[in-house]
Amino acid sequence: MRLTSATAALLASAVLAGAVAAPASAHTRTGPSLAPTGPSLARAVWIKACGGNPCGHWRLKLRDGRTITVPDAAATKVDARGRRTTDIGVFAVSGDGRTVLYERASDHRLVVRPVAGGPGTALPRSLAPRSTASITVQLSPAGDRVLVDHGDEHGRVPTKVFTVGTGETTELPGRDRPLGFSADGDEVLTRRDGGDNTATLVAHRLDGTSTRRTPPQVVERAAVTTLAADGRTVAAFIWGDSEKKRAPRLRLYDLETGELSKGVDLALTPAGTPYSARWTADGGLTALVTTEHDGGAAVVRVLTVDPGTGAVKQRDTYTIGKSRYAFYAAGETA
């Protein structure tokens, strides 16, 4: 999520956040379609600001140039007593732009809905049984799985991964901080902080098995890390340095062997470090870079990155207006 400078100062940053099978009947069809006029893909979703708080309807920015509203999505969360808070409501867009996940305004239940049309699916209340105040969410790249983190700093409440098509729920350790789905959505990459100033990266498979390793500091301190479909290769985007005129770099880390590539410089300015990235099905990388100025529009660049050479191509670019409170790009992790 990207906030304006003014609203970012007001919000505490959220962390993403799930072996128990839930019956398929636990989720129900709901509501009208978003885009009954035909197939379309979402670039991003945003909501405007009113007096420093989120307000109005969420708006989907589509790749065909249209903007459509999501009238049944909540602008803000609710606490355990059902009272509205000033925290921004839950919303996510899948990496392929075909699916959205949001908090329904009428009852604050989580809903998955196709952008191109068709009914939505209300997810089990057990994913957020008491309130939405502390949860953060993410969709898998294809939008077929939902990750819910309850933000429990003590690690007592597990992170949950819900598979929409089957109704199955997988629980992950609550002490792990989710970093995102793998490219095929079959694994979740998490970070587990130790008491000795070290961190372990864990690739959790939904069958309960996992691969874990303590990475070198250059990977641990990377701006962005993302897991490939093989469940073991981590792309680490290293911060650029404007003072030293050093471009951002990309290094690949193997969770099974511990092998770390020498890395490549990215064809970006030192200030252009990606803030979000994901592997694609063909083994490439998609990265997001944004330029924002106080009181102005945000410009988002969607880039394809060659992991072997560091070559960068701009696949798309769009703007989010200055009236925004915050926005999520497709595939962005919070």
- Looking at residue 311, the DSSP 8-state letter turns out to be -
Between CA 118 and CA 74 the distance in angstroms is 20
The answer to whether 147 and 183 have CB atoms below 8 angstroms apart is: no
**Which pLDDT value is given to residue 107?**
93
- The mean pLDDT value for 61-65 works out to 96
Amino acid at 240: G
Residue 27 has pLDDT above 70, yes or no: no
Between CA 289 and CA 296 the distance in angstroms is 16
pLDDT tens for 280-330 read 988 999 999 999 877 789 999 999 999 999 999 999 999 999 999 999 999
pLDDT tens for 116-160 read 878 899 999 999 888 899 999 999 999 999 999 998 878 899 999
pLDDT band at 19 (very low <50, low <70, confident <90, very high): very low
The answer to whether 116 and 76 have CB atoms below 8 angstroms apart is: no
Between CA 15 and CA 26 the distance in angstroms is 26
Residue 315, classified by CB atoms within 10 Å of its CB into exposed (0-12), middle (13-18) or buried (19+), is exposed
**Which pLDDT value is given to residue 299?**
96
Q: Helix/strand/coil (H, E, C) string of 77-118?
A: EECCCCCEEEEECCEEECCCCCEEEEEECCCCCEEEEECCCC
Q: What are the contacts of 315-322 at 24+ separation with CB within 8 A? A: 315/286, 316/43, 316/63, 318/43, 318/44, 318/61, 320/2, 320/44, 320/46, 320/61, 321/46, 321/297, 322/4, 322/295, 322/296, 322/297
- The mean pLDDT value for 202-228 works out to 97
Between CA 213 and CA 222 the distance in angstroms is 16
Q: Helix/strand/coil (H, E, C) string of 202-257?
A: EEEECCCCEEEECCCHHHHCCCEEEECCCCCEEEEEECCECCCCECCEEEEEECCC
- Looking at residue 260, the DSSP 8-state letter turns out to be B
The answer to whether 134 and 16 have CB atoms below 8 angstroms apart is: no
> The whole model's pTM is what?
0.87
**Which pLDDT value is given to residue 334?**
53
CA neighbor of 114 nearest in space, from 50, 45, 39: 39
**Which pLDDT value is given to residue 5?**
40
**Which pLDDT value is given to residue 4?**
54
Residue 197, classified by CB atoms within 10 Å of its CB into exposed (0-12), middle (13-18) or buried (19+), is exposed
**Which pLDDT value is given to residue 114?**
96
- The mean pLDDT value for 70-87 works out to 92
**Range from 33-37, 82-86, 254-258 carrying the lowest mean pLDDT:** 33-37
**Which pLDDT value is given to residue 31?**
52
pLDDT band at 115 (very low <50, low <70, confident <90, very high): very high
**Which pLDDT value is given to residue 206?**
95
**Which pLDDT value is given to residue 226?**
98
Block residue for tokens 């410009």: 299
3-state secondary structure of 125: helix
Tokens in use for 261?
């590539």
User: Which residues lie closer than 8 Å to 188 by C-beta, 6 or more apart?
Assistant: 147, 159, 161, 172, 178, 179, 180, 181, 182, 203, 204, 206
pLDDT band at 196 (very low <50, low <70, confident <90, very high): confident
Percent of the chain whose pLDDT exceeds 90: 75
Percent of the chain whose pLDDT exceeds 70: 88
Residue 32 has pLDDT above 60, yes or no: no
**Which pLDDT value is given to residue 30?**
53
**Which pLDDT value is given to residue 22?**
27
Residue ranges of domains in the chain, CATH in brackets: 2-329 (2.120.10)
Tokens in use for 158?
């597990």
Q: How far is CA 210 from CA 39, 163, 171, in A?
A: 37, 18, 13
**Which pLDDT value is given to residue 6?**
42
**Which pLDDT value is given to residue 195?**
76
Between CA 58 and CA 51 the distance in angstroms is 17
Specify the higher pLDDT residue, 241 or 7: 241
Average pLDDT, the chain: 88
**Which pLDDT value is given to residue 15?**
25
Farthest-apart Cα atoms in the chain, separation = 57
